[in-house]
Structure 1
């Protein structure tokens, strides 16, 4: 029969003890408290990471996470380590809600709640099995939420260690000190599926997501080449987890564009500091290999932003703390923000160690002084890749337009004649007479491309400009103009829409040649400039197209 550790029996829902004739002690209801603390905001990934934190705080060098699915008994989760382990007193303290403060303030464990709240966020039965330094005895304690509700007391069970639990502990701890955390009655991980196959797929996605989360959160522990932390081996279902570096430091094209160490005065006796470094990661096509690009999640818009490390453990990632919205031109910028435990209170580190709150001075410094230059660098690199991608996709996108316009150009030119007389100069004959006219003269660069000519850029940010290509009347089309990128680019594969827009611009170019003269040439140029500038403003709030995104995300 199971033993248990229980608080002193009290038959009243609220116990009252007079103190100094004025104070009373009000004991909380065990069931309501323990159930309420299941909802502290943990995700499955952050909950498992909180258990791993305890392993690292116990100086473990090996941590094994096992997620076992049984069709009858559901999911059971095990986290085993080879840390220092605990004796009977240590186990009782570890299972206490609000356990004793750790001697090491730099510990990854902080509030004395994580083991319990993280575990019961997903299970109704939490067991801890441990072998400490003092002797070889393996001990086990257990919070069973249903049992607590039944007794309405803080009843901590002391069950017998099972053979399976002992085997799992020894497999990781190799017969030495260590701890095994067991989650049973897991009721909040997977929803109910009618088909068993769907549940298996959902669990696989969950495990894959957890593996990446661990690779990101404990990168500095997992990477043997990173000397900022001791090396720790972590596996999930027997597969070792490899470190994931958000900053792509092994890629030649990664740029460190800003690096600052900021001193913070907590009080007169405790000076402290944090480090902030900004990296511009490679564009998708700049990675050394396709595999490197895929692993780095390069160009993924969701991965931009701050990566916040407390004591070398990632606690928050992928946002800008409300400074900026995520938009594609910032997708290459990733910023490291590292601090130690001395700044916990200053940054308001929460119970889950999952976020910080910046004070106004630091917020303003980062936004207005530190980040402007890195944001410009990231934007510049992104736009270079954007231009290449637009040019690549637009190379053949205007072929149908060229064929359509060329087939009808002779009947539409209205008697407009051009005769080349010099560099970028023609003798132009139109309704206004015959005169010399400045115009760009080009040779055909691609078979059939004699009417619509996509170019990288045009002077003064023009969207289009009339030109002559091998004697034919044509227009140059600026692929760098926002109108082209936001209106043209998303529909370049749709011939009818592209042909319609191209035909409009070519018709404007032809109308200009048919009516321009020496007195109005500057006015036509001003008209093109004004229309181009107006279109730029009109499309400014349109969504950015998915230019150069990594489809393998």
Structure 2
């Protein structure tokens, strides 16, 4: 029996089995998040040599109608466009390109839109276009040919912003994420929330490109009836390693990793300063999310945090970040996910990390211990100057809980303080349940305080943070004296008055 016995199966020929047209449905169900999908489209723009990319939300008064991604890259001929719109279409990927699998444009787009139209023009060819309409795609891979005059009109619409002689426009219609009804300020709230998340995602994952002088991403919102632009701003790079001063004088340090299957590679290990409030540190989830490895492929961030089975995340390692530039030949040591938001690593790499050393022979596990010590030391300094508190629990956003726990030492062994909404008398803003260790907020004022947004378990973080700071001491004492009771009444009166003002601004009668 040979080593490859498992492949020793007798066969009598082959048969061509093309994918069923329903494969398009599977392709559009890859779990692309909205921001991740847009980032995948921008990757294509970068591969096309674009210097300017515009992400354009089009609205008709209160209703969002389309989303477009426009670039001034080299454009595509009709033959190249057909390949780009073919599922799994194979083109000659440059070793430095960001595309890999030939599915990103289609999968990312049809995950979020009922139709995706791509129009493109090179310097020497006319404007051409193709459209995938989901309902036609699943019935037989029928891709629409866009009329030439419309293709040219779409190119002309963005002439000079950013298209000059060449470029590509991707248009999404029937976007699933758009509010169905724009009244009551829903569209404005959606845009503010979505554009903020999108700017952070693009700023982080493409920060090395955005740091260049000749590459820009702009997010804009336009009313199709009036041509008025409501928003227009550039995406700023969000460098996860851009601290002003290192948290440890010996860092950053380079570690060399020897994996038998790939050429020798290096890691750059960083320790952030404790309690940083910079966006580059805070914008990447919680402390458990943002520690660990930051993998780059061709200068594009493809994983932001995580230890990839090297160890379990823990709060004490919140300051540890390691930059890893993946080699061009990854063999089977590293496997990039289709959505380019995670890397699977083999046990070979995890094992090699134990033996990774820097130029002075110091081992990589020692770096992890140093990052742990920096965090613990910062906590000790806080505990000597600030009074221990009972921490926040259920109902507080995880990032808010983490920040409070970073800033204030916790009383050991105590159940945390929860917060929840409940119907109360309109004359009170909060009640205190000592037995359940819970702050109860008045449901009557919830909608006004949320600005009309739908609530959730961890909603209203600003209000909850302020209430926690006012009330946590109540749970740390066995009873409230006359002074504390007077303070509670004072806070109650002021908060009720403020909440009623919010209600009046919404046009409600109290």
Report deviation, 1:303: 2.0
Report deviation, 1:484: 5.3
Contact 2:248–2:374 under 8 Å retained in 1: no
Contact 1:169–1:179 under 8 Å retained in 2: no
Per-residue CA deviation, residues 458-496 of structure 1 (Å, 9 max, x unaligned), is xxxxxxxxxxxxxxxxxxxxxxxx995555999995377
Partner of 1:515: none
Report deviation, 1:199: 4.4
Structure 1 residue ranges without an equivalent (≥5): 1-19, 225-229, 398-481, 501-553
Corresponding position: 1:218 with 2:206: yes
Per-residue CA deviation, residues 329-381 of structure 1 (Å, 9 max, x unaligned), is 11111111111332164312222222222111211233676542222222222
Report deviation, 1:209: 0.5
C-alpha separation between the residues in 2 aligned to 1:104 and 1:344? 17
C-alpha separation between the residues in 2 aligned to 1:234 and 1:366? 36
Report deviation, 1:193: 5.9
Contact 2:205–2:302 under 8 Å retained in 1: yes
Partner of 1:279: 270
Contact 1:282–1:298 under 8 Å retained in 2: no
Per-residue CA deviation, residues 370-401 of structure 1 (Å, 9 max, x unaligned), is 54222222222222221232223229x9xxxx
Counting only pairs closer than 5 Å after superposition, residues 345-384 of structure 1 correspond to structure 2 as 345-366=332-353, 371-384=364-377
Partner of 1:534: none
The verdict on how the C-alpha distance between 1:483 and 1:39 changes in structure 2, with shifts beyond 3 A counting, is closer
Partner of 1:158: 146
C-alpha separation between the residues in 1 aligned to 2:183 and 2:309? 42
Residue of structure 2 aligned with 1:180, choices 169, 176, 179: 169
Partner of 2:311: 324
- Tell me the secondary structure at the aligned position of residue 192 of structure 2: helix
Partner of 2:36: 46
Per-residue CA deviation, residues 8-35 of structure 1 (Å, 9 max, x unaligned), is xxxxxxxxxxxx99654334332x1222
Residue of structure 2 aligned with 1:202, choices 190, 199, 209: 190
Q: Radius of gyration: which is bigger?
A: 1
Partner of 1:102: 92
Counting only pairs closer than 5 Å after superposition, residues 44-123 of structure 1 correspond to structure 2 as 44-70=34-60, 74-123=64-113
Q: CA RMSD in A?
A: 3.3
C-alpha separation between the residues in 2 aligned to 1:26 and 1:282? 57
Contact 2:255–2:364 under 8 Å retained in 1: no
C-alpha separation between the residues in 1 aligned to 2:371 and 2:173? 47
C-alpha separation between the residues in 2 aligned to 1:220 and 1:115? 22
- Tell me the secondary structure at the aligned position of residue 101 of structure 1: coil
Partner of 1:536: none
Report deviation, 1:133: 3.2
Return the TM-score normalized by structure 2: 0.66
C-alpha separation between the residues in 2 aligned to 1:355 and 1:483? 34
Report deviation, 1:155: 3.2
Partner of 1:506: none
Residue of structure 1 aligned with 2:257, choices 255, 262, 268: 262
- Tell me the secondary structure at the aligned position of residue 316 of structure 2: helix
Report deviation, 1:297: 1.6
Contact 2:45–2:73 under 8 Å retained in 1: yes
Corresponding position: 1:387 with 2:366: no
Report deviation, 1:218: 0.8
The verdict on how the C-alpha distance between 1:77 and 1:275 changes in structure 2, with shifts beyond 3 A counting, is farther
Per-residue CA deviation, residues 73-101 of structure 1 (Å, 9 max, x unaligned), is 64411111111111111111111111123
Contact 1:74–1:185 under 8 Å retained in 2: no
C-alpha separation between the residues in 1 aligned to 2:272 and 2:325? 19
Contact 1:258–1:277 under 8 Å retained in 2: yes
Report deviation, 1:46: 1.3
Corresponding position: 1:142 with 2:131: yes
Partner of 1:311: 298
C-alpha separation between the residues in 2 aligned to 1:338 and 1:202? 35
The verdict on how the C-alpha distance between 1:158 and 1:344 changes in structure 2, with shifts beyond 3 A counting, is farther
Partner of 1:494: 473
Contact 2:246–2:272 under 8 Å retained in 1: no
